Structure 1
């Protein structure tokens, strides 16, 4: 088996640090987030598909998710998507308008709520399905004590500004403020972009194991 199959290359269109995508109107989505009862956050978080230790006490409401951690091309709507679609789609569209993709796909879409004092531990997104889509954050609720590390530098992302981040390098988040941090986090890719040459051999190799 070739090294390219064992270590898939990243999409060259992805940022290697951060890429500011511009302002987004978050008013309706932010209001919807503020109206979510605690028991709903707890129930959605208990059933989420992204249960990783590095996320620590960060809770999630997942709207769309991949079918297979090795392949970004298959994804599905989660139960919360129909209720939230009306407030999510305008924000998603505004955030990615600069990419100008004719057939843009959102394989993963979720809210991430980090409590005050919370952390997301240093890590790299290692599943192969994370290699190709852009990883984008839209802060909805934040405070000046929220610090994110991407691309070898610390950043503070203000509310209402969409930003693509490098999820393939070491990254972490600390909420050193006294309020919760809530981000809309999603992935986005161009369905018309030629697929990498390593993809099918990589999937076949995984199926053979």
Structure 2
């Protein structure tokens, strides 16, 4: 008997970077560029994702999981009604290639990294991050933004959706002089069989 504190991830998730193709971000980009700094500060102050590795990155969180132990239950946050019509078309285009008939988006947010900002090396260790695909759509960026996923550095250009490996070590650095703003979200197939470990408390012994 051995202890498995980090149960097996969804085998459908990428182990590196999966390029999902171009997405029309123009309406969303225009709205993001118009967000007042006071609104960014207010949304960031109330965000539920307070992780030290995120550094000075600010967030506007539209949807979030009820518990970081389970991706199956999530809720809309106060900003979602205002942004839904702009964000949902981007989500739909980004995930079209997966072909899931019934799917869910447990976490959806904008993440703004200032010039000189760093997201420190980390893995998304909470159980709710182990099953859904983790997808980025760059909205505003610059060529000096370095995103390290799957063991290699990458530049993700605006409007090109990518799935990234959030369970391996990853980090981001903005060496440019403009903000890097990504739409970041999770996505999973609700018809996919759930893992056996889901019903077990974290740290249960397994054979």
Q: Sort the TM-score into its range (normalised by shorter chain).
A: over 0.9
Distance in 2 separating the partners of 1:204 and 1:190: 26
- Superposition pairs for residues 25-174 of structure 1, below 5 Å? 25-174=24-173
Pairwise CA RMSD: 1.3
In proportion to residue count, which structure has more helix?
1
SS in 2 for 1:10: coil
Distance in 1 separating the partners of 2:32 and 2:177: 18
Distance in 1 separating the partners of 2:2 and 2:111: 37
Distance in 2 separating the partners of 1:202 and 1:70: 9
Cα 1:203–1:121 shift into 2, 3 Å? closer
SS in 2 for 1:158: coil
1:7 positional shift: 2.3
1:21 aligns with 2:20: yes
1:3 aligns with 2:35: no
1:89-124 CA-to-partner distances (Å, cap 9, x unmatched) read: 000000000001011100000000000010000000
Distance in 2 separating the partners of 1:204 and 1:18: 29
TM-score by length of 2: 0.96
Distance in 2 separating the partners of 1:203 and 1:170: 21
SS in 2 for 1:137: strand
Runs of 4+ in 1 over 3 A off after TM superposition: 1-4
Contact 2:23 2:94 in 1 (8 A): yes
How many residues align? The count is 204
1:3 positional shift: 3.2
Distance in 2 separating the partners of 1:203 and 1:107: 20
1:9-49 CA-to-partner distances (Å, cap 9, x unmatched) read: 10000000000000000000000101100000000000000
